Chain A
């Protein structure tokens, strides 16, 4: 049994989730990684270094830049017969391409997998994580997206074989117009060990910086509720929840967040949760491991000062 993992990458950097997807895929068979795009040498090297990867297959073509579903689908259709499983992270590229590929191959995909119980048995959440489905697929081939946060990363230090794949026939239909990237050198939200999340109660983009300061102090990634993103206080790629990113940090600090079920869907995997909220009845206060009830505008600056005093540095 061999498994193909589609690598997600941006600006010449391999996505941090790839090592986790490889670790999950290794439960299913020998793992090959597909790297698609132009100028992907660094991405290829990074993929080859992940423990458990047998081959990195490289499809070089400008038509694959942007990793559009229209360009990737025929390429994956062509490679799929060599594999029992074709897998991508449950992130924007994988979510875009795997269902399209599935329809082309007349297969039902299993997406957002959080546990692999066997070669054809998987667990996936439904209803914003309020229920977990155990699914068996008796299809000849399995197309999966996997939640990176549900798996630990594979180790580094491998040197997998690198081999080219013919991508000469690939054509992108979509034309690139513009990209808006959130600048900054914060840790990757989906895989961060610590995340500080802020809600709409921060009140403005300027005041949302308080959340970012606390995150900076802890070397944490920054998350936000949909309400905070909709209000323009935080960029969309910080949204955590059913329709944003799913995170599973060791520590999640929720600042002024009520804990709507769509938000909780994104943090179920967090090991420890701390809530700072003025409302003792807020759902997040009730389920947090530690909660401090009070005004975040007093608590957060005092907390930063206290962490400073204790010499916390990460």
Chain B
């Protein structure tokens, strides 16, 4: 991408990036209200589920994992966007990462918050969630440390902690600049959160060193988290779950959906906050190529997984295979292939078609496709267990749809509030920014 000789003056960068913090347009508040109404509906649905029990959902013998586990895997998958992309680009010192990283890191934190709720919703008796935590108790049952569900808890707690710190660290210098904000409560908030940052070289040194170390650590944690999520499935001897490639398959899928979420968020922020000078074609082009690469990798893994099952011709596995390819789940399967492979391959693979708008269309398709992929991992296997007599089809109820919709609305609200409180691009990382051709 050609860059003009001009440099954006610092005052303009600061104004452009801090401006969205002070103004709240009617459209902004309407969006918040609309999203909040969906959240309220979801909370009402959850309330009904808590009052009446899990019978109000479509979960029934033999499918005891449904939308909630699908949503859990989906949101945890998207959370990989942020940290992985940000950490990789930070470690490789990619200059184009600067306007992208904070948007990505925020996705991680919010997705983890949302994804982490689903095991609690799925428990049914949500008020007993603390039974997951290993503590000495009078129940004469110490939580089983070899259970993948406990691994999940520990892995996600580590990831949330790391991601929040990873998001917070580069925010400190920006918050120090915002400490002179004209709204008193904001001024107080930024002062407390910036911890008295003065901009001395000792602080900058410590910050840069900490960011590099955190990037290394968080990469290892991010990969492990989704591998652990995949082991929730792979450690059981269920057909089409007990697979050695599930770990990397899940990680690839997670990065794939994460990049799609990041592209979608960036496209929306660019338009909503007027960041055209900062989130340029160049960034979308680079991320689109990454998305295309991940689409190809995802297709490769999916093909390898299904090919192995078909060749093995093991009856219980073939029952699941058939239900996905030509059975009741076939429409979802072929939609998934279309969304995850065909659409990105055409829209992003052909150079002339690769624009910001097509990247966003491809991203929406990938997110739909990846949600379906998670659904196709969970439901068909449970619907076709090794004992044929127990087979069944999962049909979700409005309760599950409402709670799922509420989490998407929740993500929107969290992101909108974050964008109103903190600059979406790190101002201190963005000095003397060359004006790029848009």
Is A bound to B? no
Listed in ascending order, the chain B residues whose CB lies under 8 Å from chain A are: none
Listed in ascending order, the chain A residues whose CB lies under 8 Å from chain B are: none
